[in-house]
Structure 1
Amino acid sequence: MAEPNMIYKISVLLLLSKVDIPLSNAQIVQFFLDKEYTDYFTIQQVISDLEEAHLVSLSQSHNNTLYSLTDEGSQTLSLMRDKVSSAIEADMVEYLSNHKFEIKKDNALTANYDLATGGGYIVHCKFTQDGHTMLDLSLHASTSEQAETICNNWKVRHEDVYMSLMDTLIQ
């Protein structure tokens, strides 16, 4: 029998292979904790190991880390898939089915910021729906506090911003 950490690693790869969008750290962890497969610290180490081995890639969005399967991760999964039981795979399918709307909603909005050349910050806000980019907006903020506020407000006001822009631009 394979060691537990190896099964956890293959399980993370399998979970990522079952979705067409990246999963957040919280979404991956939630699966393992909900099913009581392992503890928080173990699954964090597993994810870190997979990233170091270039089996998963990560992208950062304001206070959120998203993971995707790499080509190397797909190849590894194809060789090791039989290490994960059909019961665990069924649990994954159930989890993804039960949480598909919140997963899509969580991943539909991204907001982050970077230092701008010449001072200030560039805030990048993006809103996608059904795999289509609805709005991709970059704004200049003078301070990190402004940039942080924009990122936080984007989560709750993105629809208002989108509709306001559409109304203004199609008049």
Structure 2
Amino acid sequence: MSENTLELAENKLLLLYIFKKIKIPISNNKITEIILENNFINYFILQQYLDELLVSKFIQYVDAEKDHKLLITKKGIKVLNLFENMISKEKIKIVDDYFKKHVNNTEKDVLISSEYISKDEDNYIVDLKVTKNEITLMNIKLSVKSDKEAHELCNKWKNNTDDIYYKIVQTLLEN
């Protein structure tokens, strides 16, 4: 492969890596900010790559008419898993360091809550919620049969909110 082809592939894989790392839908502006702050790709090439990733169905818009936020697809994750080793370790480190430094700022705006109440002896209502800047991103209410199940669901939600949220959104977006 020529150097330009390798660079193009690495840059698109880097974009997929960033989308996978974020795990939640992200605006074009935010992905552009991340890329430009780290001097990975110039603005115009970035927009071209994003369009190509959309056409290839490696990323997709979530509620395109409302939010215009992008999310990696299962197809994108498969491609990334196959070829992630093509991304230079230096770029991976830069992205990982960037997220360690900056994600904490955005996580402060995110509130995760989980609670349950007993309706009767064999019926518990579990309320799982994630909000950002006082806007509800997801709210799930489940009925379970025991205190133990309710407690387990609350703990799993608290410890794995990003992954659970991501999987639910991906499942709902599947064809």
What is the TM-score when the length of structure 2 is the normalising length? Answer: 0.56
Give the aligned partner of residue 84 of structure 1. 87
Counterpart CA distance in 2 for 1:78 and 1:21 is 18
Correspondence 1:24 to 2:36 = no
Give the aligned partner of residue 51 of structure 1. 54
Indicate how the Cα distance of structure 1 residues 20 and 9 shifts in structure 2: closer, same or farther if over 3 A, else same.
same
Counterpart CA distance in 2 for 1:39 and 1:23 is 19
What is the TM-score when the length of structure 1 is the normalising length? Answer: 0.57
Moved more, 33-42 or 93-102: 93-102
Contact 2:27 2:69 in 1 (8 A): yes
Length, aligned pairs only: 116
Counterpart CA distance in 1 for 2:92 and 2:7 is 15
Paired-residue identity, %: 22
Give the aligned partner of residue 43 of structure 2. 40
Give the aligned partner of residue 99 of structure 1. 102
Contact 1:14 1:77 in 2 (8 A): yes
Indicate how the Cα distance of structure 1 residues 134 and 80 shifts in structure 2: closer, same or farther if over 3 A, else same.
closer
Counterpart CA distance in 2 for 1:16 and 1:22 is 8
Contact 1:22 1:107 in 2 (8 A): no
Alpha-carbon displacement from aligned partner over 1:20-59 (angstroms, at most 9, x marks no partner): 2122212211122111122100001101100000000112
Q: How far did 1:102 drift?
A: 5.0
Alpha-carbon displacement from aligned partner over 1:72-102 (angstroms, at most 9, x marks no partner): 0011001110110111111111222222145
Contact 1:25 1:65 in 2 (8 A): yes
Gaps of 5+ in 2: 112-129, 140-175
Give the aligned partner of residue 3 of structure 1. 6
Counterpart CA distance in 2 for 1:73 and 1:37 is 20
Gaps of 5+ in 1: 109-126, 137-171
Contact 2:109 2:132 in 1 (8 A): no
Give the aligned partner of residue 74 of structure 2. 71
Counterpart CA distance in 2 for 1:80 and 1:135 is 32
Q: RMSD between aligned alpha carbons?
A: 3.0
